[in-house]
């Protein structure tokens, strides 16, 4: 358990990447981890676009720097786009719930698995919240109607020091019944 909690403690949003390419094998391991994530009815409502070509990475980075945010992305060495796919739920569940009922949570689990797998391999990651989805979809050949679950920047941290995490006290966030 201590190794697991140590991994969670080390994982942080990296906003300063080193000028060092990310190995394809490490990105593939991040995707493997995401595919092992839990999903409602094992529907696995996800697909992934791994952006590792330096020219394409630079193009995506430009369109992920919106509203004067995310200037650090110009140093990112890779991106992973998490896409929402159609979920196929078990027939008994499908009768009472929309097929995408669990998808958002499933995509969140897969996204976090990517970030943890990156950290476990010495990579930094940052989930990006503001970006031009239409432009990035166009660059990557993603159909415009496809929903993005996440855009994750990945690279080696320029500074591997772990910042002190400031979190609400457990007493404020959890109760036991």
Question: In the numeric block, which tokens belong to residue 106?
Answer: 């499933």
Tens digit of each residue's pLDDT (9 = 90 or more) over 49-78: 999 999 999 999 999 998 889 999 999 999
The answer to whether residue 151 sits within a structural domain is yes
Tens digit of each residue's pLDDT (9 = 90 or more) over 77-103: 999 999 999 888 777 777 788 878 889
Task: Find the domain containing 70 and state its range.
Answer: 28-159
Give the total number of structural domains in the chain.
1
Q: Which helix (H) or strand (E) holds 151?
A: strand 148-155
Beta-carbon contacts of residue 86 (< 8 Å; ≥ 6 apart): 45, 99, 100
The answer to whether residue 172 sits within a structural domain is no
pLDDT of residue 160: 85
């Amino acid at each position: 358990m201590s190794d697991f909690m140590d991994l969670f403690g080390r994982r942080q949003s990296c906003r300063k990447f080193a000028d060092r390419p990310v190995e394809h094998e490490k990105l593939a391991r991040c995707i493997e981890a995401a595919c092992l994530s839990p999903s409602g009815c094992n529907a696995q409502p996800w697909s992934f676009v791994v952006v590792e070509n330096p020219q394409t990475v630079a193009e995506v980075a430009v369109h992920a720097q919106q509203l004067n945010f995310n200037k650090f992305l110009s140093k990112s060495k890779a991106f992973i786009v998490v896409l929402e796919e159609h979920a196929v739920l078990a027939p008994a569940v499908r009768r009472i719930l929309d097929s995408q009922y669990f998808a958002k949570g499933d995509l969140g689990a897969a996204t976090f698995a990517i970030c943890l797998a990156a950290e476990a391999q010495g990579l930094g990651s940052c989930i990006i919240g503001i970006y031009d989805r239409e432009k990035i979809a166009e660059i990557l050949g993603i159909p415009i109607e496809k929903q993005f679950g996440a855009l994750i920047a990945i690279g080696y941290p320029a500074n591997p020091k772990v910042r002190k995490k400031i979190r609400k006290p457990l007493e404020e966030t959890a109760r036991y019944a």
